[in-house]
Amino acid sequence: MPAYLETAVEIAREAGALLATFFERHVPFETKGENDLVTEADRASERLIVERLRTHFPSHAIVAEEGGGHESASGYRWYVDPLDGTTNFAHSFPMFNVTLALEAEGELVAGVIFDPIKNELFTTERGAGSYLNNRRIRVSQTRKLTDALVATGFPSRKRHLNINIHFYHQLGMQTHGVRRCGSAAIDLAYVACGRLEAFWEFGLNPWDMAAGVLLIEEAGGKCSGMHGEPHRLRGPDLVADNGLIHEEIVGLFEEIFSGRYRVPMPAIAG
């Protein structure tokens, strides 16, 4: 394969350094919808990434969150999240990343997630494994959900319609805990390197998850829809885990989808 991954790494590092300079300056935020934040840093990072990709791969299509993409009939498509974790970023909460992934003829082939605060670079290529700062990573070996640390996220858009609070409560009661980091690509990267056993979320976009899904699969984990169906980049929901707890977590989700709760919500004493 041509040097797709090397180029993506170079671009992600450059964009990450740009995000870090904006982060130090505390840029103001705007809203693109109710509670859906965007900053000058999102736009500047996207401009840089799209410009670089177009220079290196002029025939490739680009799907980028802030709309700076480019259509093409080529079988190659880049998914770009120029700043994943904008709400954290806008509040000076140091958990965000830049992520890029390449799809070739409908199959994910390479991905990068770069956290410029921790200087952690997660990389993967189909068939070649996953790496954190050039060291091979693997998913955790935890076999039971009761021994797992898991994570989830809540979308900014239409959050009043999101049913995830039911899942959050049940998983919170039946694991070591649920983290809500505010950056889906970092959550996925942490599953790939064994810091978390599982992550799930409703309503993610392809650019949030493309690199992370390949990273997890190449690290020995499993990704699917929350009913256990094959994973789709444009699917309504995602569960990504170490593979060993996959059946158990999908089974628990099935109970919650059907309204059966093992642990009822506590009553508020009146």
Q: Which two tokens stand for residue 173?
A: 């009661």
Question: What are residue 107's DSSP bridge partners?
Answer: 104
State the number of CA atoms in the 13 A half-sphere of 258 facing the CB: 8
Q: Out of ligand IPD, Ca ion, none, which partner does residue 154 contact, by CB within 5 to 8 A per kind?
A: ligand IPD
| 208 near Ca ion, judged by CB under 5 A | yes
| 196 near ligand IPD, judged by CB under 6 A | no
Q: Which two tokens stand for residue 53?
A: 């990709």
| The total number of residues written for the chain in this structure | 270
153 class by beta-carbon count within 10 Å (0-12 exposed, 13-18 middle, 19+ buried): buried
CB of 206 to ligand IPD, least distance (A): 12
| 224 near ligand IPD, judged by CB under 6 A | no
Cβ-proximal residue to ligand IPD, closest one: 153
Of 46, 66, 84, 115, the one binding ligand IPD by CB under 6 A: 84
Instruction: Report residue 27: phi and psi, to 5°.
Output: -75, 145
Binding mask 203-222 for ligand IPD (x = CB under 6 A): -x---x--------------
Interaction with ligand IPD in 17-56: which residues (CB under 6 A)? none
| 65 near Ca ion, judged by CB under 5 A | yes
Interaction with ligand IPD in 159-178: which residues (CB under 6 A)? none
| 187 near Ca ion, judged by CB under 5 A | no
Question: What are residue 125's DSSP bridge partners?
Answer: 110
Which one, 116 or 155, has the nearer CB to ligand IPD?
155
**Total site size for ligand IPD, rule CB under 6 A:** 15
Which one, 121 or 145, has the nearer CB to Ca ion?
121
- As a dihedral over the C-alpha atoms of residue 170, residue 171, residue 174, residue 179, rounded to 10 degrees, the angle is -140
Of 153, 194, 212, 221, the one binding ligand IPD by CB under 6 A: 153
Pair type for strands 76-84 and 120-125: unpaired
3-state secondary structure (DSSP) of residue 192: helix
How many helices (H) and strands (E) are present in the chain, helices listed first?
A: 7, 14
CB of 85 to ligand IPD, least distance (A): 5
Question: What are residue 120's DSSP bridge partners?
Answer: 115
Residues in contact with ligand IPD by the rule CB under 6 A: 81, 84-87, 153-156, 182-184, 201, 204, 208
